[in-house]
Amino acid sequence: MKIAVASGKGGTGKTTFSVALALANRDRARLVDCDVEEPNAHLFLRGGESTTASVWASVPVVDASRCDSCGRCASFCQYNALALAGSAGLMVFPELCHDCGGCILVCPSKALSERKVLRGTVETRVIDGTLELVTGRLEVGSPSAPTVIRAAIENPPALQRGVTIFDAPPGTACSFASCVHQADHCVLVTDPTPFGLHDLELAIEAIQAMTKPFSVVINRSSGDDDLASRHCRRRGIPVLLRIPERREIAECYSNGGSLLDADSSMGERLRTLLDDLHFQVSGGPIQ
Amino acid sequence: MKLAFPVVGTDLSSPLDGRFGRAPRFLIVETDSNAFTVLENARNTDASQGAGIQSAQVVIGSGAAALVTSHCGPKAFKVFQSAKFPVLQSPIAPVSELIEQFKAGSLKEMTAPDNAGHAG
């Protein structure tokens, strides 16, 4: 089972929740940090030897001696990465290329070939021999987060675990979609503020368009009558967990600790939560 | 001389569009006779990215000899520069007035892009 932990709004506690969920279930879950523009799960999960793989993309190169400026490549490209500049011929903007290879296929004069460019890296570490953390990192200046997110998700597991948790990027754009799209269930973390609810609704709209089942975790909750709880009740959205608004949790977080360190009851609750989710998604216990 | 204008309307009374790449259409005007044609640009208005690059390609292929625009970003400018296609900077005003300004020689050629470009 694959679970994406997403949010819409940034800073709601995606990493807090996914790190704690992974730690409490380390015998049966692995964690993939898909927030490739600013991965941060490694700040809470330290140690272990790391192995790193590069993520490459192919961008087109023009052989001007073969190109007859027919423009088929430019009109094919949905991302406008190629353009005809009059007598100067074909120009390529590799920073806009999404690596589909279509321009090379449609060129009738075989004037285009591929050049590899580095889009990012995928790092794997096994913490204390039991918890696998995969971290995707986008190369600075690279436009193509989904390429690196896919590579992190498809990276061969170092440990066999029944559950993979994706710590998703914030927002509701391509990065978010390319992560959530590969999950069986999406957990949306929100905070009980008007801004949090607004972006929660945006995320729900995007998830419903992908027809993914989802549930909500409320962080910094003041109880089952806070803004987010009332909202979810009204909308009939299942709330999996409320993480209380408590100073000890914030202090623990700022020292690089997890929810499990701050709240001794959390470990057991997060194991039950994962059992329940797995039953819901696959109709049976975690293998 | 034929000039291209990114416009919001459909005739010479239309003001210039403040955007270049995502302008809904271009007017291609023969300044000697004021005869013009309308070039729709819907594909680029709605492009997810690279609207300026493609609009530059459209303008270069339109038969016009120069572009009159209020702004031009770095990627579009690079296309114009490679094609040695002049880009004249102008205020936002009706096309008919801009033609007079052009004839009076008050529209100057841009030598660099005038904004930092837009993400996405």
Beta-carbon separation of A91 and B78 below 8 A: yes
B119 pLDDT above the threshold of 70: no
Average pLDDT value for residue range A92-99: 89
Greatest C-alpha distance within chain A: 71
Sorting pLDDT into bands at 50, 70 and 90, what band is B120?
very low
Q: Which helix (H) or strand (E) holds A163?
A: strand A163-167
pLDDT single digits (tens) A218-236: 999 999 889 999 999 999 9
The answer to whether A179 touches A36, Cβ cutoff 8 Å, is: no
Sorting pLDDT into bands at 50, 70 and 90, what band is B48?
confident
pLDDT single digits (tens) A51-93: 999 999 999 999 999 999 999 999 999 999 999 998 899 999 9
Enumerate the residues of chain A whose CB falls inside 8 A of the CB of residue B60.
84-86
The two three-digit tokens of residue B55, written as one number: 């609009």
Contacts of A267 (CB under 8 A, 6+ apart): A23, A24, A260
Enumerate the residues of chain B whose CB falls inside 8 A of the CB of residue A80.
44, 47, 49-51, 53-54
Best A69, A72, A77, A80 residue to mutate vs chain B (most B CBs within 10 Å):
A80
Contact status of B48 with chain A (Cβ, < 8 Å): yes
pLDDT single digits (tens) A165-186: 999 999 999 899 999 999 999 9
Average pLDDT across chain A, whole number: 95
The answer to whether B79 touches A91, Cβ cutoff 8 Å, is: yes
Residue with tokens 């730690």: A23
Burial of B60 (0-12, 13-18, 19+ CB in 10 A): buried
A156 pLDDT above the threshold of 50: yes
Beta-carbon separation of B60 and A85 below 8 A: yes
B52 pLDDT above the threshold of 70: yes
DSSP codes joined into one string, B10-76: SSTTSBBPS-STT-SEEEEEETTTTEEEEEE-HHHHT-SS-HHHHHHHHHHTTT-SEEEES---HHH
First to last CA, chain B: 35
pLDDT single digits (tens) B53-102: 999 999 999 999 999 999 999 999 999 999 999 999 999 999 999 999 99
